[in-house]
Amino acid sequence: MQMLLKLLKDGEFHSGEDLGAVMGVSRSAVWKKLQQLEAETGLEIHKVRGRGYRLADPLFMLDAQWIEKNQADADWAVHVYDSIDSTNAQAMRLIESGEPLPLLVLAERQTAGRGRRGRKWVSPFGENLYYSLAMRVDGGMRRLEGLSLLVGLAVVKMLREMGINGAGLKWPNDVLVGGRKLAGVLLELTGDPADVCHVVIGIGINVNMRASEEVDQAWTSMLLEYGGVIDRNEIVARLNKELSAYLSAHREAGFGAFQAEWEANHLWQGRPVTLLAGSSAVEGVVVGIDAVGALRLKVGAEIQSFSGGELSLRLRAAPET
The CATH 3.30.930.10 portion of the chain extends over 64-263
CA distance 293 to 305: 10
The CATH 2.30.30.100 portion of the chain extends over 268-315
- What pLDDT digit, counting tens, does each position of 103-125 carry? 999 999 999 887 665 666 778 88
Binding-site annotation, residues: 86-88, 110, 114-116, 181
**What number does CATH give the domain 2-55?**
1.10.10.10
Compute CA distances 10 → 35, 60, 223, whole Å. Answer: 19, 8, 17
Please give the CATH topology (third level) of the domain spanning 268-315.
SH3 type barrels. (2.30.30)
Give the DSSP H or E segment for 241.
helix 232-253
| pLDDT for 115 | 66
- What pLDDT digit, counting tens, does each position of 252-295 carry? 999 999 999 999 999 999 999 999 988 889 999 999 999 999 99
Catalytic residue flag (residue 54): no
Q: Which listed residue (47, 51, 251, 314) is catalytic? A: 314
| pLDDT for 217 | 77
Catalytic residue flag (residue 116): yes
Domain spanning 64-263, CATH architecture: 2-Layer Sandwich (3.30)
Helices (H) and strands (E) in the chain, counts: 9, 14
Question: DSSP characters for 56-81?
Answer: SS------HHHHHHTSTT---EEEEE
CA distance 181 to 217: 8
Q: Which listed residue (181, 238, 241, 296) is catalytic? A: 181
Q: CB under 8 Å to 261, separation ≥6 — which residues?
A: 153
Tell me the angle at which helices 16-23 and 27-41 cross, rounded to the nearest 10 degrees: 90
Pairing of strands 77-81, 103-107: parallel
Over the chain (321 residues), what is each successive 10-residue block's mean pLDDT?
Answer: 78 83 84 82 83 85 94 90 94 96 96 71 88 91 89 97 95 94 94 87 94 78 90 96 95 93 96 90 95 94 88 77 45
| pLDDT for 226 | 85
Binding-site annotation, residues for biotin: 86-88, 110, 114-116, 181
The CATH 1.10.10.10 portion of the chain extends over 2-55
| pLDDT for 143 | 83
- What pLDDT digit, counting tens, does each position of 289-321 carry? 999 999 999 999 999 999 876 788 999 875 554
Catalytic residue flag (residue 49): no
